[in-house]
A and B are shown apart, each in its own frame.
Chain A
Amino acid sequence: MAQVKINRSAYDLLNVKVSAKTLIVLGDFWKQRIYSFTKSGKSLATNAKLKPLSKSYVSQRAKYKGPFGALFGIKKSNLTRTGQMLDSLKNTQNISAQTVTIKLSGSRDDGVTNEQVAKWVAEQGRPFLGLDEKGRQRMIQIVLRDLRRQLKKRPR
């Protein structure tokens, strides 16, 4: 699980909350960012390329018959085999707590939860749930726009 809480300090004084709609936008943005960067072989947790696959695992993958997740490649280190784990990424929002959370949902066909798979791949040196600095800056921009829009609409 990965979570961001909006630091509201100055906006607390103005009694303004990030709107539900914007929290959803933030969640969608973050979920898509994790998905796309991971599929491209980069980890948002470390801001670096995902650790290459071992030779033995590559040999195993060469024998794999499917189903194949999007952008599966025998030698590609993008946390994709069936695609179930990354496809299960989900974003939730808590308006009162002003948080956005990204989680893995559901289970694989063998009963192992996607959350467990994510934990395991991180332990193997491929953490991927996180937020890079540019992603953070973009989320800040989205929040500021929403708050400015709300303040503008307020009667003076």
Chain B
Amino acid sequence: MSVKRILSKNDVRLKINMKEILGRELPNSDEIRDAIAQKAIDMIIERTQSGKDVRGKPFKEYSKEYMGSDRFKAFGKSSKVDLTLTGDMLGLLDVVGESKNTFELGWTDDTENKKAYNHNVGDTLPRREFFNLQKKEVEELRRFAERLIDGASKDK
């Protein structure tokens, strides 16, 4: 499976297998692996902050109660649902594990991990599933990786 999601209360991770996506091994380059991982993170954040879930559908609206809260106003929020209050959950999404051809995205911070779990399963909050890659995003990641690898091999 090229992208596998782990979704439990204390462990929310996305395992991305680039060998499966590319059909070949990644070159032995931390730089290339870092760049691809960052691209995957950026895609998830951009899509989420544009207000869309993993299926490309708009997120469920914020409740009136939440929008009327002091915290909501203190962080200058609007009614646009982008899962960004302090920005910490999306801002701290990072690579939490890697091997030659795979990397894992997730959170090292326990609170942010729990927030992500809650949003994705709808535990104590309305469900707003953001943590995964769409098919077209996997394809975009593949093209990005190919360009990087081709560019790197031309530099040699």
Contacts and interface: CB of A to CB of B under 8 A. Distances in A.
Contacts of A41: 70, 74
Interface residues of B, number: 19
B60 interface: no
B75 A40 contact: yes
Name the residue among A33, A36, A141, A156 with the largest chain B CB count within 10 angstroms: A36
Interface string A116-143: 0000000000000000001001100100
Contacts, number: 46
A152 interface: yes
Given A36-B86, A152-B31, A134 B109 contact: yes
Contact of B94 (A33, A73, A141, A148): A141
Contact of A137 (B71, B73, B75, B92): B92
A71 B76 contact: no
Contact of A138 (B35, B71, B76, B88): B88
Contacts of A76: 70
Interface in B85-128: 86-88, 91-92, 94, 109, 112
B69 to A, nearest CB: 9
A138 B92 contact: yes
A138 B70 contact: no
A137 B109 CA distance: 10
Tell me the interface secondary structure of chain B in the complex: helix
B34 interface: yes
A151 to B, nearest CB: 8
A36 B85 CA distance: 10
A40 B76 CA distance: 11
B53 to A, nearest CB: 24
B91 A138 contact: yes
A71 B109 CA distance: 30
A39 interface: yes
A145 interface: yes
B74 A148 contact: no
Given A148-B34, A152-B31, A36 B92 contact: no
Contacts of B88: 134, 138
A138 B93 CA distance: 10
A36 B75 contact: yes
Given A134-B91, A148-B35, 16 more contacts: A36-B74, A37-B86, A40-B74, A41-B70, A71-B73, A73-B70, A76-B70, A78-B74, A134-B92, A134-B112, A138-B87, A141-B92, A141-B94, A145-B38, A148-B34, A148-B38
5 contacts: A33-B86, A36-B76, A39-B74, A71-B74, A138-B88
